[in-house]
Structure 1
């Protein structure tokens, strides 16, 4: 296996830190990014001890592309794998969310990957080689109550990734969308609720119940971030369970995610069949 240069955003904790560590343990080079790299390095000493390099990166900044370009140049001008992992969840009713809260969610989860890729893709296109890993979510396929805006960002990332995969194929650049289920990380500890609180009209509704379920589920999530990171690594390297999966575009992780996707597919198929006569009735002929 030829060692690769990885850039992982949001590597300070959770799946991002696990992916960075897995790549390093496999013999790759890693540029790990965080808004506070000093704090991130202290929390994850294994990344530095394995040879990883930390850089400061806030994906909501307009300077993101330039910062990514500079980091790649300092690493020798080669980037093989970009992992767009930085993100968070804003949960609650859209009635209670300010425009600023919604804009920050989209700036992080959607515009953030765009900014990172604008800095990295020129290097990949020049070499006609590379891998883009966009970390989506089970919410990127199946939106739950409380997740309207968060799921909206992940649906956007999924659609963007579908187009990117086709646009970048002529340059031998692969796009992989990773869709984790519920992982036992600090992700759900760090979720954000609207500053205005919850409108009383939603008390006792599915939104209220699902939000309570999220809160009570902390520390009980079924997904193992370390195992997920290993599966991502194997799919990119074509080793282990990733052998022969070079054409894989979506990578659902977790039985909970898989089951949600299967139910979504079934519901889509039912909806499509019910709408068939309507769809076929709207042509000029």
Structure 2
């Protein structure tokens, strides 16, 4: 569920249109047609999605959410629970929904994306064209524990189990402390999260996972798409990639291509843009 956030990844990010501390704008031309809002995993940061910028055409503006308690937001107050987190993110993105948009969340971020969509609907704001849920079973069905209450050694072992966290980071006392502080906070949010009963969403859901992901591998993904199929009245699609919980790092190009094709096929099939199609 976690990976270290890249040091100083925020330094050269262009300011999001809202000038919000919650958002980083990594790409987008002068007149983009779509917005892709990405939500990180537990312990992750907006910088996790920065490499996607090189794979996106100018028609797509990439906005990545920066949770408090890490990088340049290390001293910002942390959200008390999932409802507060989703509400704060909704405040940040609400002024930016002036064009079709999609939500992409990985691991904990998929639950945040789902809660965000519900919060935007509650506010009678435009709903996402599509929601991409990666690396986690659906809210209400995902298995949770009490890792946020465990020792640093136990929490570190969990990061090793899931992959995506460099052993060098865990061996460095300073970096380890920074990473585990953010991880523990995010684990508390996701492990105490109990989604309320609400009507399903109406946007298509796309579930992505690695075939050896210990959180949502091939075995679980076939159970009503990990439970996600019950959370929308629209179509639910499943895509399984080779890899573990952080399959989307080595398979970045394939994941971005899949997202673009679902957002608008012209983005990868020689539409009006000049960006070369991703193979």
Q: Which bracket does the TM-score occupy, shorter chain normalised?
A: 0.3 to 0.5
More helix by share: 1
Structure 2-normalised TM-score? 0.41
Q: What TM-score, normalized by structure 1, do the two folds share?
A: 0.41
